[in-house]
Amino acid sequence: MCGIVGLVAKSLVNQTIFDALTVLQHRGQDAAGMVTCEGNRFFLRKDNGLVNEVFRTRHMKRLVGHVGIGHVRYPTAGSSSAAEAQPFYVNSPYGIALAHNGNLTNADELGEEMFRADLRHINTTSDSEVLLNVFAHELQRQGKLTPDADDIFEAVSKVHKRVKGGYAVVAVITGYGVLAFRDPNGIRPLVYGTRSTPEGEECMVASESVALDISGFTRVRDIEPGEAIFIDMDGNVFTRQCAEKTNLAPCLFEFVYLARPDSIIDNVNVHQARMRMGVKLAEKVLKERPDHDIDVIIPIPDTSRTSALEMAKHLNVTFREGFIKNRYIGRTFIMPGQTQRKKSVRRKLNPIEMEFKGKVVMLVDDSIVRGTTSKQIVQMARDMGARKVYFASAAPPVRFPNVYGIDMPSPTEFIAHNRTESEIGEAIGADWMLYQDLNDLKETVAEGLDIALTDFDSSVFDGYYVTGDIDDAYLERIDQKRNDAAKVKPESVDHEDEAPADLHTKIQ
The tens digit of pLDDT for each residue in 99-121 reads: 999 999 999 999 998 888 888 88
211 and 297 housed in the same domain: no
Q: Residue 85 — pLDDT band, cuts 50, 70, 90?
A: very high
Question: Is residue 400 situated within a structural domain?
Answer: yes
What is the Cα–Cα distance from 73 to 168, expressed in whole angstroms? 13
Integer CA distances (angstroms), 309 to 187, 313, 373, 403, in order: 29, 6, 21, 32
Same domain? 154 vs 292 = no
Domain boundary among 451, 480, 500: 451
At residue 267, what is the residue type?
Answer: N
Q: Is residue 321 domain-shared with residue 440, that is, in the same domain?
A: yes
**Residues 291, 220: one domain?**
no
Range of the domain at 117: 3-247
Percent share of the chain, pLDDT over 90: 78
In the predicted structure, residue 506 carries a pLDDT above the cut 50: no
Cα–Cα distances in Å, from 460 out to 166, 247, 406, 414, 427?
A: 14, 19, 10, 11, 20
Residues 94 and 212 in one domain: yes
**Strand, coil or helix: 158:** helix
Question: Given a cut of 80, is residue 473 above it in pLDDT?
Answer: yes
Distance CA 444, CA 305 (A): 16
| 236/305 same-domain check | no
pTM value?
0.90
Given the residues 2, 37, 242, 251, the one annotated as active site: 2
Coil, strand or helix at 472: helix
Residues 21 and 212 sit within 8 Å (Cβ to Cβ): no
Q: What is the pLDDT of residue 499?
A: 40
Structural contact between residues 293 and 359, judged by C-beta atoms closer than 8 angstroms: no
- CA 349/CA 146 separation, integer angstroms: 56
pLDDT of residue 238 exceeding 90: yes
For residue 41, which of 16, 13, 65, 21 has the smallest C-alpha distance? 65
**Number of Cβ within a 10 Å radius of residue 329:** 13
**Distance (Å, rounded) from C-alpha 313 to C-alpha 474?**
44
| pLDDT given at position 494 | 37
Instruction: List residues forming the annotated binding site.
Output: 303, 365-366
DSSP H stretches of helix in 332-452: 338-348, 372-383, 421-428, 438-446
Per-residue model confidence (pLDDT) at position 226: 98
Query: Is pLDDT above 70 for 230?
Result: yes
Domain CATH for 154: 3.60.20.10
pLDDT tens sequence across 31-58: 999 999 999 999 999 999 999 999 999 9
Indicate the residue type of 336.
P
Q: Per residue in 336-348, pLDDT tens? A: 455 555 556 778 8
Domain CATH number, residue 353: 3.40.50.2020
Q: 168 with 101: CB under 8 angstroms? A: yes
Residues in CB range of 240: below 8 A, 6 or more apart: 149, 153, 227, 228
Strand, helix or coil for residue 4? strand
- Together in a domain, 391 and 440: yes
Phi-psi region of 65 (alpha: psi -120 to 50; beta: other; left: phi over 0): left
pLDDT of residue 484: 60
Which of residues 153 and 332 earns the better pLDDT score? 153
- The predicted-structure confidence for 114-165, as pLDDT tens digits, reads as follows 888 888 888 888 999 999 999 999 999 998 999 999 999 999 999 999 999 9
251 is catalytic: no
Q: Is 469 a member of any domain? A: no
Q: What are phi and psi of 335, to 5 degrees?
A: -65, 130
Q: Is the pLDDT of residue 86 over 80?
A: yes
Q: Does the pLDDT of residue 245 top 70, yes or no?
A: yes
Per-residue pLDDT of 250-308, as tens digits, reads: 999 999 999 999 999 999 999 999 999 999 999 999 999 999 999 999 999 989 999 99
Same domain for 351 and 405?
Answer: yes
Which residue, of 451, 474, 491, is where some domain finishes?
451
My answer on whether 359 and 280 are in the same domain is: yes
- Choosing from 407, 430, 451, the residue where a domain stops is 451
Q: What is residue 496's predicted lDDT score, i.e. its pLDDT?
A: 35
Q: 201 - beta bridge partners?
A: 196
Q: Within a domain: residue 127? A: yes
Q: What would the pLDDT profile of 170-218 be if each residue is shown by its tens digit?
A: 999 999 999 999 999 999 999 999 999 999 999 999 999 999 999 999 9
Classify residue 236 as left (phi > 0), alpha (psi -120 to 50) or beta. beta
Q: What is the pLDDT of residue 335?
A: 52
26 contact partners, CB below 8 Å, separation of at least 6: 3, 258, 260, 331
Per DSSP, the three-state class of 300 is: coil
| SS3 state at 306 | helix
pLDDT at 459 over 80: yes
With cut-offs at 50, 70 and 90, classify the pLDDT of residue 492: very low
Position 47 scores a pLDDT of 96
Tally the C-alpha atoms within 13 A of residue 40's C-alpha that lie toward its C-beta. Answer: 7
Residue 477 burial (CB count, 10 A): 12
pLDDT band at residue 246, thresholds of 50, 70 and 90?
very high
Amino acid letter, residue 194: T
Task: Pick out the residues of the known binding site for Mg(2+).
Answer: 303, 365-366
d(C-alpha 496, C-alpha 473), whole Å? 36
Contact 330, 345 (CB under 8 A): no
Mean pLDDT across the chain: 90
* 372 shares a domain with 289: yes
- Structural domains in the chain (count): 2
The pLDDT tens digits of the residues spanning 365-418 come to: 999 999 988 999 999 999 999 999 999 999 999 999 999 998 775 888 899 999
Judge contact between 450 and 384, C-beta under 8 A: no
Residues 420-443: what's their mean pLDDT?
Answer: 97
Give yes or no: residues 200 and 302 share one domain: no
